Amino acid sequence: MLEDKPGNPKDVKKRFDEISRTYDEMGETFESKLGQRLRSELIEEHLPKGVNAKVLDAGGGTGRTTLPLAKMGYHVTLCDISPGMLDVAREKLSKQRLLDKVEVKEADIASLPFADETFDFIICLAGPLSLADSLKAAKELVRVMEKEGKIIVDAFGRYQAGMRELSKHPEVALKLVKFELNHGYDVHGDWGRVFGPEELKGLFERNGVRVIGVYGRFTEILPEEIREAKQWDEELFSKVFEMMMHLAKEPSIIGMAEDLILVGEKI
């Protein structure tokens, strides 16, 4: 096993500061909307019933997830390592007159500035766990969860990472598939830790979480012209989304997903 080196927080902060003003534009494609819808479905399924519950959107960037939850009346804390991303989030919340309902805090998810057992529900989606020091971040996320609180978190998938490397760097692809490479791997110009389903489950189980399920995001298998479209027929979107939800829950192929999504409950 190669040395397990976490990503540099300064590099992560710099990169997301640089793209903060265009980040939401990247979320307007067919593929991105599918991913957002998939995450939203899982969030809604596991959200606490009482809106007085305290929710942490960890690594929540420009507030894509925070905004609808705040509209629903939840007490949301949004944290992110990038002040640029948080500035965009504040602007969006302010326009919706929700800024006074959300606590916005600059923080690395591997070193959270919150007391133990503060939150009833934790969301950490769109890659923060893989981009952070993942081992520390998992401990921190669980630490700030209430007992019997729930978490939904995703991470980069190991096998798709290997397939993406196969044509240019077959030696890297082989190490990924053989579990010989973890931190330091370059994923589409990003860096971070990649996981198989059992690795991700084990990480959270070791930190006191009962895993409810692991799901897969498979949007990269769609034809490029569909993935990158910015206009589409809603009936097509509905059918493709139904297909993606079916694939997300199919045990025989979850390990091949580009992203793995874990739902768990603190014991």
- Give the pLDDT confidence of 181-190 residue by residue, as tens digits: 775 555 444 5
Up-side HSE of residue 139: CA atoms within 13 Å toward CB? 5
**Residue 191's pLDDT is what?**
55
Q: Determine, yes or no, domain membership for 87.
A: yes
Up-side HSE of residue 113: CA atoms within 13 Å toward CB? 11
Q: Determine, yes or no, domain membership for 3.
A: no
Q: Determine, yes or no, domain membership for 1.
A: no
Give the global pTM.
0.93
Q: Supply the Cα-derived Rg of the chain in whole angstroms.
A: 18
Give the whole-angstrom CA distance, residue 256 versus residue 160: 6
Q: Determine, yes or no, domain membership for 108.
A: yes
**Residue 114's pLDDT is what?**
98
Give the whole-angstrom CA distance, residue 66 versus residue 209: 23
User: What's the CATH code of the domain at 72?
Assistant: 3.40.50.150
Q: Determine, yes or no, domain membership for 2.
A: no
**Residue 184's pLDDT is what?**
52
Q: Tally the domains of the chain.
A: 1
Give the whole-angstrom CA distance, residue 175 versus residue 166: 11
**Cβ atoms of 124 and 153 closer than 8 Å:** yes
Range of the domain at 193: 9-266
Q: Determine, yes or no, domain membership for 137.
A: yes
**Residue 80's pLDDT is what?**
98
First and final C-alpha spacing in the chain: 31
**Residue 1's pLDDT is what?**
32
pLDDT profile of the chain (267 residues), mean per 10: 56 93 93 94 94 96 97 96 98 96 97 98 96 94 98 95 88 88 55 88 97 96 94 96 96 95 98
Q: Determine, yes or no, domain membership for 4.
A: no
**Residue 259's pLDDT is what?**
95
**Tokens encoding 54:** 């305290």
Q: Determine, yes or no, domain membership for 191.
A: yes
**Percentage of the chain modeled with pLDDT above 90:** 82
